[in-house]
């Protein structure tokens, strides 16, 4: 019995030591740190460690590069991604990170070359997102045909991606093919009936065609889902119904704010700033970034985007969900 007991204690101690060791893994801290300064410090520790492998240092450079890019330090971010690539030339996430920073810096040709490398090196499962990103880069320089190729490849890889269809619609409109652009926007809306940007894009297209009633309807739908869409608000002003729709959208936002304060404020930060009372609960202002292509209705209907242990379950009407979605989307405007 004593031998069994001592063996059990030893096993528990070994398990505890392995857990502590994993929690203290510097690369894991570099990868998981949420705050920019924490990530910079953790990744720099890996980079400067003589015990770190070349692979670990390449990953640390990549994660530090992302933190620097998020902070707007593009030159430093490019240096980090370059160091990662020098250590591990086949490490495709570093090529993707380099490409994203080059796009943000306006160096589109260099970005496209970096995306080419990332797509060539990436596993098949990662190429959907890479084609989406390279398509945006091609669209930024007005190469509609290349953008259509990339967005079509993204649609082929994920036929249920409303984002890929909407973006291909943008490229078709840039090329002047309004009929195909309309078809893509409509397909995106059919896949995600609460996709505000697709409604807005279809509204702009209908305005260009002179179909004013259809333009007004689409733009109103867009603004009621996402009141932060300033361009849709401006288009409605051109079409003479901005005040009416704005009042309706603002009333929906106010109702959603009241519901958020009633149901969510115990755990979530519900305003434009501040931390959540419950660390497991994301601020509501972050949710539209987590689920932009769904305009949030679907995850809110499931019970807010990232449920946590203490989260109560709500029974919400469609009007309640619409109000919370509109309020969360409105936070993106601040």
Digit-coded pLDDT (tens) for 90-108 = 999 999 999 999 999 999 9
Provide mean pLDDT across the span 41-49.
93
Residue 303 has what pLDDT? 53
Provide mean pLDDT across the span 280-296.
61
Which domains does the chain show, CATH number per domain? 28-122 (1.25.40.10)
User: Would you place residue 300 in the very low, low, confident or very high pLDDT band (cuts 50, 70, 90)?
Assistant: low
18 pLDDT higher than 50: no
**Helices and strands (DSSP H and E) totals, the chain:** 18, 0
Residue 217 has what pLDDT? 96
* Interval 110-138: pLDDT, tens: 999 999 999 999 999 999 999 999 999 99
Residue 27's contacts (CB-CB under 8 Å, 6 or more residues apart) are: 46, 52, 56, 59, 60
Residue 281 has what pLDDT? 72
Please indicate whether residue 289 or residue 258 has the higher confidence score (pLDDT): 258
Residue 305 has what pLDDT? 44
Do 50 and 82 meet the contact criterion of CB atoms below 8 Å apart?
Answer: no
Please indicate whether residue 250 or residue 79 has the higher confidence score (pLDDT): 79
Q: How far is the C-alpha of 132 from the C-alpha of 163, rounded, in Å?
A: 9
Residue 159 has what pLDDT? 96
User: Would you place residue 163 in the very low, low, confident or very high pLDDT band (cuts 50, 70, 90)?
Assistant: very high
How many other CB atoms are found less than 10 A from the CB of residue 125? 8
User: Would you place residue 143 in the very low, low, confident or very high pLDDT band (cuts 50, 70, 90)?
Assistant: very high
Do 133 and 100 meet the contact criterion of CB atoms below 8 Å apart?
Answer: yes
Ramachandran quadrant class, 176 (left: phi over 0; alpha: psi -120 to 50; beta: rest): left
User: Would you place residue 296 in the very low, low, confident or very high pLDDT band (cuts 50, 70, 90)?
Assistant: low
The residue with tokens 């970005």 is 111
Max mean pLDDT range (28-37, 215-224, 253-262): 215-224
Residue 332 has what pLDDT? 65
Provide mean pLDDT across the span 307-318.
58
User: Would you place residue 248 in the very low, low, confident or very high pLDDT band (cuts 50, 70, 90)?
Assistant: confident
Residue 314 has what pLDDT? 60
- pTM for this one? 0.74
SS3 106: coil
| Of the candidate ranges 187-196, 201-210, 271-280, 288-297, the one whose mean pLDDT is the lowest | 288-297
């Amino acid at each position: 019995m004593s031998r069994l007991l001592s063996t059990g204690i030893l096993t528990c101690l070994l398990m505890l030591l392995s857990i502590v060791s994993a929690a203290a893994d510097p690369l894991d801290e570099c990868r998981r740190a949420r705050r920019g300064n924490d990530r910079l410090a953790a990744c720099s520790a890996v980079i400067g460690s003589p015990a770190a492998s070349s692979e670990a240092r390449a990953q640390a450079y990549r994660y530090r590069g992302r933190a620097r890019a998020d902070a707007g330090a593009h030159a430093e971010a490019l240096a980090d991604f370059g160091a990662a690539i020098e250590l591990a030339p086949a490490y495709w996430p570093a090529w993707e990170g380099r490409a994203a920073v080059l796009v943000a810096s306006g160096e589109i040709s260099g970005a496209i070359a970096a995306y080419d490398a990332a797509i060539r090196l990436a596993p098949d499962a990662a190429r959907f997102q890479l084609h989406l990103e390279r398509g945006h880069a091609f669209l930024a320089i007005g190469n509609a045909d290349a953008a259509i190729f990339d967005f079509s490849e993204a649609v082929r890889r994920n036929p249920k991606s409303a984002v890929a269809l909407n973006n291909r619609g943008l490229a078709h409109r840039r090329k002047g093919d309004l009929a195909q652009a309309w078809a893509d926007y409509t397909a995106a809306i059919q896949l995600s009936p609460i996709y505000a940007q697709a409604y807005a894009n279809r509204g702009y297209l209908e305005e260009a065609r002179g179909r004013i009633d259809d333009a007004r309807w689409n733009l109103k739908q867009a603004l009621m889902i996402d009141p932060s869409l300033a361009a849709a608000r401006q288009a409605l002003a051109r079409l003479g119904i901005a005040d009416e729709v704005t009042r309706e959208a603002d009333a929906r936002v106010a109702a959603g704010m009241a519901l958020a304060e009633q149901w969510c404020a115990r755990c979530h930060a519900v305003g434009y700033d501040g931390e959540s009372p419950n660390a497991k609960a994301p601020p509501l202002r972050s949710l539209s970034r987590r689920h932009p292509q769904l305009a949030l209705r679907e995850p809110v209907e499931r019970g807010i985007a990232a449920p946590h242990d203490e989260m109560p379950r709500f029974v919400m009407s469609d009007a309640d969900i619409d109000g919370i979605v509109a309020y969360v989307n409105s936070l993106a405007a601040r």
